A and B are shown apart, each in its own frame.
Chain A
Amino acid sequence: MPIHPSKATGENILTKLQRKGALCKAAELQKPISLVSSGCEELNRMCAGGLARGHISELIVPIHGAAWMMYDLLAAGCLRNETLALVDPADGFEIESARAAGVDLNRLLWVRSPNVKQALQAVELILSCRQFDTVVLDLVLVQTTKIRTPASVWMRIKRLAAEAQSLVVVFSRQSLAGGFASVSVRASTRHRLFSDPTRPRQNARKTTLGLEIIRQKR
């Protein structure tokens, strides 16, 4: 059966344009998501490989029992030879524990902003610089009642993270980024420091983690 000449010409044109790269399908425009390790195997497994670059990831953790998650995340970034930034309005970063976890302090920019508002401004500044691969905002020690974050801030951070292709991780005791986070994970710890009287601080971490994904958008 002969092909209709006009249809054949149209298909040819489309094929040629596709070959030249001038034409592409909508699905092809979507950038592939780059996943990086969070330093926590359980979390990586739950998030289908790791946390996404260019997106906000939110980890809702209790006040105690989740510091190692942050240190492991920073250490994983150091393993990838990344430049890291930690915005810490509560001034809770403990360098000895971080070094013990494997964090290279020379790669880490530590911003001890005085309050949450300035911490969010600092995150925006850091992301607009486009020099930092991982940006961590630690709001765990900040009093929950003091945190007021307008949605526009998170929208800006999300856009800047996408432009910089940086991994933005927010540690807090309540969900703050909401729908602007690509993944929100709640971690509950059942940490007991002196569970084994003979080895008081050994193996304490293995029994502490309970993770639950409360929101995921990919």
Chain B
Amino acid sequence: MTANHEKGTTAIETEANRTYLRKNRSNRIGCLWVPDLPLSALARIDPTLGDRPTAIVQEENLYARVVVCNPQARSAGVVPGMTAAAAHSLLPDLIVRPFCATSVRSAQAALLDVARSFSPRVALEPAGEICMDLNGLENLFASEQKLGSALLAKTRKIGLDARAGIAATKLCARLAARTTGGLQVVPSGKERAFLAPLAIDLLPDSAKLQENLHRFGITRLGALADLPPKGLSLRLGPAGLRLWRQARGEDDDPLVAMPLPKRMQEETDCDHPIGKMEPLLFAVQHVVERIFARCETLGFSVRSLFLSLGLDPTGTDERSVQSACATVDVSSWLELIKTSLEKTPPRQPVVRVGIEAETTAVRHTQLDLFARRNPGRSAPKLDDTLARLTALAGQDRVGTALPVDTHLPGGFVMAPFSLKTSGGKSPQQPERLSEPPLRAIRPALRINIHFDKKKPVYIQGDRLAGRVLRIRGPWRLEGNWWQVDEIDRDYYEALLANGASYRLYRDRLSDQWYADGIYG
């Protein structure tokens, strides 16, 4: 009975929580923040750093100043602002790396993807936090604690150690994330109480106002919230009034949502120029894996990859790799990239690897709302084969031939081949051909024709020769007179004494004879 009672109480509490959240559904904001983002971004790219003491400097020389360092380095006395040489004297094992803007951008983009996997309305704040609209998620998660835990778990999956805050206002959520070691949920209506003990320095984008408030002796947000608004407005202007409202938990800044990107980009700078294939593929693999981890977060698949390889000392090698079907199978993509790189290797050693993925949504399986369609076990294998065949035979020599809308004989274009698994009309038995089929001779074979009293009697060419038994024609064909490759031909069908029937034509522009097909 006690168990039932407890169960009932929990259910009532959960129901009360849900009811409460439904009432306040217009104001639940989540925030993700990664402390020391440059360090976390670096650790994401280079997992070997692990727990080793690391510091990031603005430039890579002994006089460069430490911008940020991890707790292991801080515990040894390394602090931001110190020169790299001084930091090394304190801690000889200190790993010093230059600031890498590309890795920070990639980490922020990955963090945005995590937020997008929870909410369609996501914003990147100027101070680097990711805010998201969490309204409507109360039916998917039993409590906000569980929602926050799921957010953090997904962030850890992409290699970032983030903090999360959930509150009714954007500022409150941001400060909740910044003042916790993990997750902090501020219940609705408790914003002012939460903000009151926090230092006024935590307020973003208000350094000048903070200085003035310090001069007034105001150091906590609670003290600021207790000030009379009229006097504050007179002394500090509208900005001061806005700060006062924020300190009371009345943040009315809208969440400016960012559009969902169609392409995902990841970059990495190599430690040293890479001139060999294997190390280059190793670097590429890490970038591809990071992109695909982001794709899986959003349920995307990748259709094509654009590689941008920074060359030493200057220059860029750009190439695109296509896949017959969208997939996030790393080994298949690496095989395609390897084929492309082996076919045309970079001209110089590579110092930077940038990959941009063109994504596409993976459709869900039928009769299941959540299970995503398996791209097919065979599809990556086909991609590999097509890529290898293209490398073997050449570009535009492998694929599906499609007819073009032209009256010229033999016109076609090559299109990428893909497996036709279902759909479309079922093929039907064609009627028997009324005329013999043709085997094309590409390029057309130049021939000489010997005439006897203006009648062709003998054909002589590189691979064909014979006495003409019969000849039919001509059928005149003109076209493309408005272009450089004008066509003006007289076509004939000739039966030779050896039994072979050829399609011949006389180019009226050059007065040359050609054979461009064999009947039969």
Question: CB < 8 Å: which of B381, B393, B419 contacts A122?
Answer: B393
Q: Please determine whether A100 and B433 come into contact, CB atoms closer than 8 angstroms.
A: yes
Cβ of B385 and Cβ of A129 under 8 Å apart? yes
Interface pick from A23-31, A52-60, A87-95, A172-180: A87-95
Decide yes or no whether B397 CB sits under 8 A from chain A: yes
Cβ B427 vs Cβ A96 within 8 A = no
Q: Which of B81-89, B94-102, B277-285, B434-442 touches A?
A: B434-442
- CB pair A191 B518 closer than 8 Å: no
A102 touches B430 (CB 8 A): yes
Contact residues of B between 198 and 252, Cβ < 8 Å to A: none
List, in ascending order, chain A residues with CB within 8 A of B382's CB.
129, 131
Scan B27-46; emit 1 where CB is below 8 A from any A CB, else 0: 00000000000000000000
By a CB distance below 8 angstroms, the chain A residues around B385 are 125-126, 128-129, 131
Inter-chain contact A67/B420, CB cutoff 8 Å: no
Which of B1-9, B268-276, B493-501 contacts the other chain? B493-501
Interface footprint category on B: 35 or more
Kindly provide the distance from the CB of A155 to the nearest chain B CB, expressed in whole angstroms.
20
In the assembled complex, the Cα of A212 lies from the Cα of B441 at a distance in Å of: 28
Quick check: is B403 within 8 A (CB to CB) of the other chain? yes
Per the CB 8 Å criterion, the residue count for chain A at the interface is: 60
State whether B470 touches A194 (Cβ < 8 A).
yes
Contact with A along B300-334 (1 / 0, CB 8 A): 00000000000000000000000000000000000
Question: Binary interface profile of B, 385-397, with partner A (CB < 8 Å = 1, else 0)?
Answer: 1101100111001
Q: Looking across the interface, which residue of chain B has its beta carbon closest to that of A78?
A: B427
B400 lies within 8 A of A106 (CB): yes
A111 to B441, CA, bound (A): 16
Q: Is the Cβ of A126 less than 8 Å from the Cβ of B420?
A: no
Q: Does B463 contact A (CB under 8 A)?
A: yes
| Smallest Cβ-Cβ distance to B385: which chain A residue | A129
Q: Which residues of B contact A191 (CB under 8 A)?
A: 436, 499, 501, 519-520
Contact B397 A189 (CB under 8 A): no
A68, A106, A126, A202: the one contacting B437 at CB < 8 Å is A68
Q: Are B403 and A99 in contact (CB under 8 A)?
A: yes
The residues of B that contact A111 with a CB separation of less than 8 Å are: 389, 393, 397-398
- A112 near B397 (CB under 8 angstroms)? yes
Nearest residue, chain B, Cβ from A99: B403
Query: Which of B389, B401, B499 contacts A192 (CB under 8 A)?
Result: B499
User: Would A113 and B438 be within 8 Å (CB), given that A125-B385, A126-B385 are in contact?
Assistant: no
From 47 to 75 in chain A, residues with beta carbon under 8 angstroms from any chain B beta carbon are: 62-68, 71, 75
CB nearest neighbor in B for A71 = B437
The CA of A66 and the CA of B499, in the complex, are separated in Å by 12
B435 engages A204 (CB within 8 Å): yes
A96 touches B394 (CB 8 A): no
Complex CA–CA separation, A102 to B425 (angstroms): 13
User: For the complex, is A81 an interface residue (Cβ under 8 Å from B)?
Assistant: yes
Question: Which among B65-73, B409-417, B452-460 touches the partner chain?
Answer: B409-417
Q: Which residues of chain A have C-beta atoms less than 8 A from B519's C-beta? A: 64, 67, 191, 193
Contacts beyond the supplied A64-B439, A64-B518, A81-B427: 14 A-B pairs with Cβ under 8 Å: A75-B430, A91-B440, A101-B433, A105-B400, A109-B386, A109-B398, A110-B399, A110-B400, A114-B394, A118-B392, A121-B392, A129-B381, A189-B520, A201-B435
Interface of A toward B, CB cutoff 8 Å: 62-68, 71, 75, 78-79, 81, 83, 91-102, 104-114, 118, 121-122, 125-126, 128-131, 140-141, 143, 189-194, 200-202, 204-205, 208
Query: Which residues of B are in contact with A by a Cβ distance under 8 Å?
Result: 378, 381-382, 384-386, 388-389, 392-394, 397-403, 409-410, 412, 414, 417, 419-420, 424, 426-430, 432-442, 463, 470, 472, 493, 495, 499-501, 517-520
Cβ contacts A to B, 23 pairs, < 8 Å: A64-B501, A65-B436, A65-B500, A67-B519, A71-B437, A92-B518, A93-B401, A93-B440, A94-B439, A94-B440, A97-B437, A102-B428, A105-B401, A110-B414, A111-B398, A113-B393, A143-B463, A192-B499, A193-B436, A193-B493, A194-B495, A202-B435, A204-B435
